Structures are given as C-alpha cells and as structure tokens.
C-alpha cells in the first residue's frame, strides 16, 4: 500500500518558493530546502523527483497566484487605460514595500535560468504570453472607445507594455527610487495617449 502524504503540498511549495526566491535556484541547496520545508530529503525526492522538479512546481504555483492575484484587488469600473495605469502603479507600490528587494520570482527565474533550462524558458514564455493577453484585451477595448491611441497596433502596444512592465520591476529591484519608477511608467504609458 502506498504511503499517504502527511504534509500540505501547497504549503511546502510556498516555503520552497520563498527560499528559491531569496537565494536563487543555483545558490539553494537541498539542506536549505529540507530546513525550510521541514521535509526529509526522501520526502522531497518522492514527491517532487528532485530539486528542479520542486523548483518548477514552486514557480508554477507562483504564476497561478500571480495570475489570480494580479487584478483581484483592482477597483471596479476602471476604464481600460486606468486598468493599465493601476497595474503599473501596483507594481511600483509592491516594489517599494519590499525591503529585501526580491523582485519578481518569475523574472528572477527567467534571468537566472531561461537560457540554460528549457523547462524554465517554457514557463517564462507562458508568463509573458499571459501578461501580453491581459494588456492586449485592455488595449483593444481602449482603442475601440477612443481612450487609447491607434497609432500602433494593439499587439505592438501590448509587447511594449509587457516589456516596460517587466523592466520596471527589474529597475525597482536594483534601484528602488519611487520618483524614477513613476517617470519610467509615465513615459512608457505615454504610448497610450490618443492622437
């Protein structure tokens, strides 16, 4: 008869994620993960196959939290442009409130591993596409109402906003200057200004 798990897998993934997020994949040891999760090495291997399997599942869990939480506290009734502005401002506020300057776990994973690890690269692409689709839906709606410029295609603007949004998070991680971040956001969002 197979053993039943005596732990909360979601909680273990959160604890592992926090270690990976703080130290990065390569600097995190199995001892770090054993200590953080409270699991034995054998339980980690039995459940997640190896450190990499645990990392991928922790990253996927983070992406799901981000997908659900990204707009969950967005005020109702915002126009498409205001939704985009709100999301940029939310990112700035979150960055300024992070004393450890951990940044975004997905971006950290991308910069550390995406060029070397096809699985992480796949997750990074999935995340980029999810964000672009979100921006694209708001941009199309805003262009249809005349609130957002049609100088560029909705897809081109979505690419630009996604790049700017991620760049903003990287800048905030290295130099968390609220005024500079607001300037970056303001100029990035100026592409939305109607003609």
Q: Let me know how many helices (H) and strands (E) the chain has, helices first.
A: 9, 0
More confident of the two residues 52 and 4? 52
Give domain limits for the chain: 1-59, 70-192
Q: What is the pLDDT of residues 19-42, one digit of tens each?
A: 999 999 999 999 999 999 999 999
pLDDT at 5: 65
Nearest residue to 24 (alpha-carbon basis) of 187, 173, 178: 173
What is the spatial distance between Cα 152 and Cα 85, in angstroms, rounded to a whole number? 18
pLDDT bucket at 3, cuts 50 / 70 / 90: low
Above 70 in pLDDT, residue 61? yes
Q: Which CATH number fits domain 70-192: 3.40.1110.10, 1.10.3720.10, 1.10.579.10, 1.10.357.10?
A: 1.10.357.10
pTM for the model stands at 0.89
- Measured over the CA atoms of residue 161, residue 98, residue 114 and residue 180, the dihedral's sign is positive
User: 1-59 and 70-192 share one CATH topology?
Assistant: no
Q: What is the DSSP letter of 102?
A: -
Superfamily of domain 1-59: Homeodomain-like (1.10.10.60)
């Amino acid at each position: 008869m197979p053993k039943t798990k005596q732990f909360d897998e979601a909680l273990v993934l959160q604890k592992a994620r926090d270690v990976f997020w703080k130290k990065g994949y390569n600097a995190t040891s199995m001892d770090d993960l054993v200590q953080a999760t409270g699991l034995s090495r054998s339980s980690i291997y039995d459940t997640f196959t190896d450190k990499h399997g645990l990392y991928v599942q922790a990253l996927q869990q983070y992406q799901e939290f981000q997908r659900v939480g990204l707009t969950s506290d967005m005020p109702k009734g915002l126009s498409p442009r205001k939704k985009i502005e709100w999301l940029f401002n939310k990112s700035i506020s979150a960055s300024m409130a992070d004393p450890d300057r951990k940044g975004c776990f997905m971006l950290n994973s991308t910069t550390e591993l995406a060029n070397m690890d096809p699985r992480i690269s796949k997750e990074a692409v999935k995340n980029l596409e999810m964000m672009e689709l979100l921006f694209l839906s708001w941009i199309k709606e805003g262009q249809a109402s005349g609130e957002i410029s049609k100088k560029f295609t909705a897809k081109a603007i979505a690419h630009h906003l996604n790049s700017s949004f991620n760049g903003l998070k990287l800048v905030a991680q290295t130099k968390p200057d609220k005024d500079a971040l607001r300037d970056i956001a303001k100029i990035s969002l100026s592409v939305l200004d109607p003609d």
